[in-house]
Amino acid sequence: MATIIDEVRRDGDSALRRLSERFDGVELDEIRLDPSELDRALGAISPELRTALEVAFERIVAYHSDEPAPMKPFESDGIRVQHRDVAVERAGCYAPGGRARYPSSVLMCAAPARVAGVGQIALCVPPAHGGTIDDATLAAAAIAGIDEIYPLGGAHAIAAMALGTESVERVDVIVGPGNAYVAEAKRQLSGVVGVASSFAGPSEIVVIADATTPPALAAIDLMVQAEHGPDGMAWLVTWDPAVAEKVNTQLIELVASSPRRADLEATLSSNGVCCLVDDPAAALAVSNLVAPEHLELLVEDYSGLVDGIRAAGAVFCGIDAPASLGDYAAGPNHILPTNRSARFASALRADDFRRHIHVVEVTRQGFESLAPTVELLAETEGLVAHAESIRMRR
């Protein structure tokens, strides 16, 4: 499997053609099917099959349109579906350590788990050299009602929680930020264990600024995420060259006087970027492409930009909304998707600790109304037992 993925990553379309011939016995001239094939297929199938497909699609759309109201049963034509939200039994939380201590991450992990109704919460924290965990982190664990604490850090902590050991009972879901090794361990163990908030790795920020932005505030907010250390990301995006120059000047001065200068310089030298664009629309295009963990709209008229945001973990609007508020106490979670995973993932929330179980009840009327549709679709797919299970009840 890894070889196939690497082949596609390296060779693109040529790999797809090669692999299709090897595994499917097909030589592909074009990778993408001509859209006219859809119209041709609709005309080729029987009217009965087309109707069955349309009925099934309409019912699936109707059900999922009702998803935001889990306490309200979905009822249609004699079929009733209840939504049961069931919390996982055990959650594993990871709070980073090493360069700094993060009691705030303990709170951010545990609070939504408690709201969801998780039975037990385990916490892993990288220990200090003496094998201890600092008091602020332990106090946060006490306040959050953590059940088990392990002085473990890095990829082996994630593996322990996912797989279980003699001392660490395995968990159902793992949450919490970490360095690139922690994030990669979660990625590789996803499927063995639930992994919330996708790739919660090194910290990222994009700051969009204009002529109304105080340069010192833009500079310090870039530093807020950069001071977490190497492998992070801090981008300034502006359409005003003067703003770029002023912010850069402020940034140099602030970094030079910071007690975390080494961590700041490590991040800024590898992924500190000033991106000069043509206009606000281009700034949003850059941000959506980057899909940052934190996005700050440090502009006076931010309302005109919000609707254009398509990918970001969290968005902070105006000069009085620094990302640091969100990191600690604004309310929303600071465990956010990084590494462009905001294209498909969201901030940690209580729902990440829940499973959704559908309970389906069917009246005789409901069965009769759908039986012909289900029987025909099953026969079309060649699933004889599926079709027979309907016929035997008719």
Point out the residues that are catalytic.
Answer: 293-294
Q: What is the pLDDT of residue 199?
A: 64
Report the distance separating Cα 340 and Cα 192, nearest Å: 23
What is the mean predicted confidence (pLDDT) over 22-29?
A: 92
Report the distance separating Cα 249 and Cα 97, nearest Å: 31
What is the mean predicted confidence (pLDDT) over 212-220?
A: 96
Could you tell me the maximum CA-CA distance found in the chain, to the nearest angstrom?
80
Residues 6+ apart with CB under 8 A from 348: 108, 109, 112, 175, 196, 197, 200, 333, 335, 336
What is the mean predicted confidence (pLDDT) over 255-277?
A: 91
Whether 25 has a pLDDT exceeding 80, the answer reads: yes
* Placement of tokens 């990222």 in the chain: 204
Asked whether this chain's domains 87-197 and 204-343 adopt the same fold, the reply is yes
User: How much is the pTM?
Assistant: 0.85
Out of 3.90.550.10, 3.40.50.1980, 3.40.47.10, 3.30.70.1280, select the CATH number for domain 87-197: 3.40.50.1980
Which tens digits make up the pLDDT trace of 177-199?
A: 888 889 889 989 998 999 976 56
Report the distance separating Cα 5 and Cα 9, nearest Å: 6
- What mean pLDDT value characterizes the chain? 92
Whether 216 has a pLDDT exceeding 80, the answer reads: yes
Query: For the sheet containing 294-298, what is the strand order?
Result: 272-276, 233-238, 204-209, 294-298, 314-317
Which tens digits make up the pLDDT trace of 105-133?
A: 999 999 999 999 999 999 999 998 888 89
- CA distances 206 to 294, 322, 390, Å, are 6, 12, 56
Whether 167 has a pLDDT exceeding 70, the answer reads: yes
- pLDDT tier, 322 (very low <50, low <70, confident <90, very high otherwise): very high
- pLDDT tier, 70 (very low <50, low <70, confident <90, very high otherwise): low
Q: What is the pLDDT of residue 129?
A: 82
What is the CATH T-level fold of the domain 204-343, as seen in this structure? Rossmann fold (3.40.50)
Q: What is the pLDDT of residue 183?
A: 86
Whether 343 has a pLDDT exceeding 60, the answer reads: yes
Report the distance separating Cα 71 and Cα 91, nearest Å: 24
* Placement of tokens 């349309």 in the chain: 54
Whether 384 has a pLDDT exceeding 90, the answer reads: yes
Residues 6+ apart with CB under 8 A from 227: 258, 260, 263, 264, 267
Q: Where along the chain do its domains lie? A: 87-197, 204-343
Report the distance separating Cα 156 and Cα 262, nearest Å: 27
